[in-house]
Copies of this chain bind each other. A is one copy, B any other.
Amino acid sequence: MDPSTVVHFMDTDDFLKHWQGHRALTRRVIEAFPDEHLFTFSIGGMRPFGELVQEMLGIAVPMVRGMITDEWTEFSDGTASSKKELLRLWDADTKALDELWPSVPKARFAETFTSFGQYTGPGYEQLLYAMDNEVHHRGQGTVYLRALEIEPPAFWER
């Protein structure tokens, strides 16, 4: 593309802030689940919300760490099995993301690489995928909450 037509959309700190806003909302959705349903309740054969959150944990920090070190293990979900443990891991990763972020080499956001040994694309697309996947699965979790007659936290509050 002719560089004169490139218009800046957002910078990397804007993205982290936006993602952490989503992560704060996802935390509230985890909290809204009754303990006894978080790892068991399901619709149509789908994974319970606790397992979907473990997938998110398996992507977020490992992705950012991989962008820094270029070391990728095979993708794996987390291992929490209670709401308390899941929230503890979530909070630790919120902190880790903020701490790791400044160490991501600037060039990595535009550079194409393969994450987890299988997903190839530019860094910004890989990060968008991590965030979109969280929004997607959290949306599914809100249907579980509604089916359990629990009002989900408001989508627009971050």
Q: Which residue numbers of A lie inside 8 Å of B, CB to CB?
A: 1, 5-15, 18, 22, 43-46, 106, 109-110, 124-125, 128-129, 132-133, 135-140, 142-149, 155-156
**CB proximity of A141 to chain B, nearest CB, Å:** 9
Given A44-B146, A146-B43, decide whether A14 and B138 contact each other with a Cβ distance below 8 A: no
- Name the CB-closest residue of B to A110: B8
| A146-B132 Cα distance, complex, nearest whole Å | 20
Besides the contacts A9-B15, A18-B125, A46-B146, what 7 more A-B pairs have beta carbons closer than 8 Å? A5-B13, A6-B11, A8-B110, A9-B12, A44-B143, A44-B146, A45-B146
Given A143-B44, A155-B133, decide whether A9 and B7 contact each other with a Cβ distance below 8 A: no
> Could you tell me if A139 and B146 are in contact, using CB atoms closer than 8 angstroms?
no
> Could you tell me if B12 and A11 are in contact, using CB atoms closer than 8 angstroms?
no
